[in-house]
Amino acid sequence: MPRPLASPRLTLAVLAGAAGAFSMLQSLVSPVLPTIQADLGTSRSTVTWVLTAWLMSASVATPLLGRLGDSLGKRRTLLVALSAVSAGSLLAALAPNIGVLVAARVVQGLGGAVFPLAFGIVRDEFPAERVAPAIGSLSAVLAGGGGLGLVLSGPIEAHLGWRWLFWIPMVSVALTAVLAGLLVPESPVRHRGRIDWRAALLLSGWLVALLTPVSRATVWGWSSPGVLSLFALAAVLFLCWIAVESRSADPLVDLRMMRLPAVWTTNAVAVLFGANMFAVTAFVPQFLQTPATAGYGFGSSVTEAGLLSVPMLATMAVGGVLSGSLSVLVSPKAQLVVSALLSTAACAAFTLLHDHPWEVATAGGVFGLGLGLAYAAMSTLIVRSVPAHRTGVATGMNANIRNIGGAIGTAVVATLVTSDSLPGGLPRESGFTHAFILLTVTSAATVALAALVPAVPRRGTTVARHAQPRRKSAHPH
């Protein structure tokens, strides 16, 4: 098969389409969980597995497929990931019961590898001076896609039904996969070596053992035997994984690479940004939809809450695009510090100024700008800091760490919001206020962590990109 010939612009457009389609699945379903619960005749605790199963699957698949992409070819692995998303969407759209729907979400979660694979293709194929702007654009799509899901979820469910939340992604992802096969070139930078499946199994084990109690703690109780036992199991499996990876001649995740100052500090920042992002996108819409009879909230519909999220969606996109363009003048580290400051200001505004819809929408706009800058800056820092043949697994782990932070942040905020309810079952305003205070404190801590990230010189992109000469790389196409 001849190598596809495409301009960087076309390649970027296809990669953005793939990233956008998958990122929408992060938030498209969550606003309509009550509808799915009623339609499939299941319980509230069971229907949340529609989100939990997707999160756990993406957490396991992202580093594993990122590593396979580095070894077997990023374009080829990208097509596998997109095919899984499309197949999972078809299965979800036809699901006759909650069990099949949860299984479909597991299949969809394999698409989590789209992001590290896309970043890796950009690094391999683009001229060095275009890498940062391209990563900024992809990061804008990554951040904005989640917000777009919140906006589109209500109208699609209201006019077409919840199953169309899967039919539409199925068609769009299938078309994107065809375009990727035709237009995206296979990256010639490869890292030959076997996959350490013991390490993959242990990585999957500790991630599932960690994320299951985190996502279910509000139902089971933080001090319940099930939660504590799974946390203990996660710790044991994590230590075993560290031991296996440290001794492996060809590790799934190179722990020496993960200990690079720019990598571990950026990943530490990613934990807190992930916690804030998932918590804000999950609970600000709930705040907006709370009936005014509760003494707060605005009684917004799902569609109205989505429209109030438009400023956050728009500024996420702007922040991601600006990040790449500003990288010539403002370092990714400086952008990360600014984004953390914007997040702190936004969460403080959520705490103090939430009496009118425009106040919440404005704070969301500030938060979105910081998030867009942060996603692009973190991706650029990781890509510039690691060898080209490790881009997939390094960016995959960064995305994974954001997901882990998001799961923890969402669970903790859910505990605060639901800890004290009004007679009708609605949470008190104080629950949301305490949650917003926690997010403000977390954002302030993110500022301090971002300041610890070492500056990575721009020339690092060029050096790392050519760490392995292309002429020595296997290239089956």
Helix-helix angle 114-125:128-159, to 10 degrees: 150
| Residue 372: closest CA among 324, 414, 301 | 324
Coil/strand/helix, residue 392: helix
Contacts of 107 (CB under 8 A, 6+ apart): 57, 84, 85, 87, 88, 91
Positive or negative torsion for Cα 195, 201, 206, 210? positive
The single residue listed with the structure tokens 């275009």 is 130
Q: What's residue 363's pLDDT? A: 96
DSSP annotation of 427 reads B
Q: What's residue 67's pLDDT? A: 77
Domain ranges of the chain: 8-195+250-467, 196-247
Which structure tokens are listed for 197? 């499946």
Rg (CA), the chain: 21
The single residue listed with the structure tokens 């196409």 is 477
Rounded Cα–Cα distance for residues 315 and 355 (Å): 22
Coil/strand/helix, residue 421: strand
Q: Which helix (H) or strand (E) holds 227?
A: helix 225-247
Q: What's residue 29's pLDDT? A: 84
DSSP result, 33-57: HHHHHHHHT--HHHHTHHHHHHHHH
Q: What's residue 303's pLDDT? A: 83
Q: Which CATH number fits domain 8-195+250-467: 3.40.470.10, 3.40.50.720, 1.20.1250.20, 2.40.50.180?
A: 1.20.1250.20
Whether 174 contacts 93, CB under 8 Å: no
Q: Which amino acid is at 71?
A: S
| Residue 213: closest CA among 201, 203, 225 | 225
Distances (CA, A) of 349 to 352, 354, 356, 410, 439: 5, 8, 12, 19, 11
What is the CB neighbour count within 10 angstroms for residue 190? 23
Q: How far apart are the first and last CA of the chain?
A: 6
Which structure tokens are listed for 157? 């469910």
Q: pLDDT below 50 — which residues of the chain?
A: 1-5, 459-477
Positive or negative torsion for Cα 109, 152, 315, 438? negative
Positive or negative torsion for Cα 118, 123, 124, 127? positive
Rounded Cα–Cα distance for residues 310 and 300 (Å): 14
The per-residue b/e assignment along 116-130, b for 16 or more CB within 10 angstroms, e otherwise, is bbbbbbbbbbbebee
Rounded Cα–Cα distance for residues 342 and 254 (Å): 33
pTM: 0.77
Contacts of 475 (CB under 8 A, 6+ apart): 3, 186, 188, 190
